[in-house]
């Protein structure tokens, strides 16, 4: 009962901090002229969002950081937080270049990839040699476990982190979309961590949940603030490292299915255009395709969040089989 109470408190603290600092941070971002520039290649009606404050991810980043440092106070949770902050820092640099230096594309793809790779390698190598992970990967819907040697496990875990971080980043394209989906995914991993008796991880993902719920109050349509790459890379890092320490990286394919589909839509679009000169979708990522076919933004967000809820329910079945192994 105490553990459940602690998880609830972690959610409430992070939520409370986010809703308190939001009304102060958003006007500050506006005064600093940290407004989002809308790319011309996006849907034309997104132009009305130009000038909306970005880097709002600091709202839940601050909330989660304070919760971990002053309430959770656990080595594993701190490692998860520091890694997430590392990805958030990369996102902040990217946002800073876009917003302050007025270079709309931010960091180059190579610069961003290299920085993310370094952050991922540091996390995986440290957690492996500090015995926070042991190379085991649970197979969903079974009691089977695969144990990889370090020379296989480290590159595999790094690949999972990079894929997740960039998938969350691509999903952040509509008001409340990445936030809403990540709330559902973080709830799933909170329950998974509790079932696996990994309370530090449960408290960490609970803090992510609370911070995102608070942020959603400002990010839901019509958004008063965007999370920016600062927020999306932080969230991608947080979700992926939580999955890694819980031995559930493969579960990201299921519960993070919307992230995956969004990424695949971009890969398919680019590949098709380069090979045939034709586009499969009206626009990618997939949420823009739905927009171009006439769907309302709020309906797309609702559909994608609902899909994530369904995928998470499926994921629970796969997770319970894994609990039998543990």
Q: Which of 290, 234, 292 is nearest to 262 (CA)?
A: 290
Written in H, E and C, the secondary structure of 239-254 is HHHHHHHCCCHHHHHH
| Residue 189 neighbours by CB under 8 Å, 6+ apart | 201, 205, 239, 242, 243, 246, 248, 255
Is residue 19 within 8 A of residue 214, CB to CB? The reply is yes
Give start and end residues of each alpha helix (H) in the chain. 2-31, 58-67, 75-99, 109-129, 150-171, 177-195, 199-219, 228-245, 252-255, 257-276, 286-292, 297-325
Question: Over its length of 326 residues, how does the chain's per-residue pLDDT go in tens digits?
Answer: 799 999 999 999 999 999 999 999 999 999 988 866 655 555 655 556 777 999 999 999 999 999 999 999 999 999 999 999 999 999 999 999 988 887 767 799 999 999 999 999 999 999 999 999 999 999 999 889 999 999 999 999 999 999 999 999 999 999 999 999 999 999 999 999 999 999 999 999 999 999 999 999 999 999 999 999 999 999 999 999 999 999 999 999 999 999 999 999 999 999 999 999 999 999 999 999 999 999 999 999 999 999 999 999 999 999 988 776 55
Other CB atoms closer than 10 Å to residue 104's CB: what's the count? 12
pLDDT of residue 143: 84
DSSP string, 156-185: HHHHHHHHHHHHHHHHTTSTTHHHHHHHHH
CA-to-CA distance for 8 and 301, rounded, in angstroms? Answer: 26
pLDDT of residue 48: 64
In eight-state DSSP terms, residue 283 is: S
CA-to-CA distance for 271 and 266, rounded, in angstroms? Answer: 8
| Residue 244 neighbours by CB under 8 Å, 6+ apart | 123, 124, 127, 133, 157, 160, 161
| Residue 238 neighbours by CB under 8 Å, 6+ apart | 64, 80, 84, 186, 204, 205, 208
pLDDT of residue 65: 98
Structure tokens of 206? 């609970």
Other CB atoms closer than 10 Å to residue 16's CB: what's the count? 16
pLDDT of residue 99: 87
Is residue 104 within 8 A of residue 98, CB to CB? The reply is yes
Q: What does each C-alpha distance from 304 to 191, 269, 278, 279 come to in angstroms? A: 21, 20, 26, 22
CA-to-CA distance for 79 and 132, rounded, in angstroms? Answer: 10
Torsion of Cα atoms, 306 then 307 then 313 then 319, to 10°: -140
């Amino acid at each position: 009962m105490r553990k459940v109470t602690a998880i609830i408190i972690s959610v409430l603290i992070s939520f409370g901090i986010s809703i308190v600092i939001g009304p102060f941070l958003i006007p500050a971002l506006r005064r600093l002229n940290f407004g989002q520039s809308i790319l011309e290649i996006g849907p034309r009606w997104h132009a009305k969002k130009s000038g909306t404050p970005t880097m709002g991810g600091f709202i839940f980043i601050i909330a989660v950081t304070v919760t971990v440092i002053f309430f959770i106070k656990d080595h594993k949770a701190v490692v998860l937080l520091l890694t997430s902050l590392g990805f958030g820092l990369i996102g902040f640099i990217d946002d800073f270049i876009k917003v302050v230096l007025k270079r709309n594309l931010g960091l180059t793809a190579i610069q961003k990839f290299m920085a993310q790779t370094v952050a991922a390698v540091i996390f995986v190598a440290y957690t492996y040699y500090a015995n926070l992970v042991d190379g085991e990967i649970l197979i969903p819907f079974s009691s089977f476990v695969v144990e990889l040697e370090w020379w296989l496990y480290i590159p595999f875990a790094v690949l999972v982190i990079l894929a997740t971080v960039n998938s969350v980043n691509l999903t952040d394209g509509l008001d409340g979309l990445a936030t809403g989906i990540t709330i559902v995914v973080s709830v799933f991993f909170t329950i998974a961590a509790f079932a696996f008796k990994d309370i530090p991880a449960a408290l960490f993902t609970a803090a992510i949940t609370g911070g995102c719920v608070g942020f959603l109050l400002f990010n839901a349509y019509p958004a008063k603030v965007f999370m920016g790459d600062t927020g999306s890379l932080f969230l991608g890092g947080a979700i992926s490292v939580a999955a890694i320490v819980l031995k559930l990286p493969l579960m990201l394919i299921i519960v993070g299915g919307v992230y995956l589909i969004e990424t695949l839509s971009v890969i398919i679009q680019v590949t098709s255009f380069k090979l045939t000169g034709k586009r499969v979708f009206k626009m990618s990522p997939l949420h823009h395709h739905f927009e171009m076919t006439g769907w309302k933004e709020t309906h797309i967000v609702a559909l994608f969040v609902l899909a994530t809820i369904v995928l998470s329910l499926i994921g629970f079945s796969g997770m319970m089989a894994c609990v039998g192994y543990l």
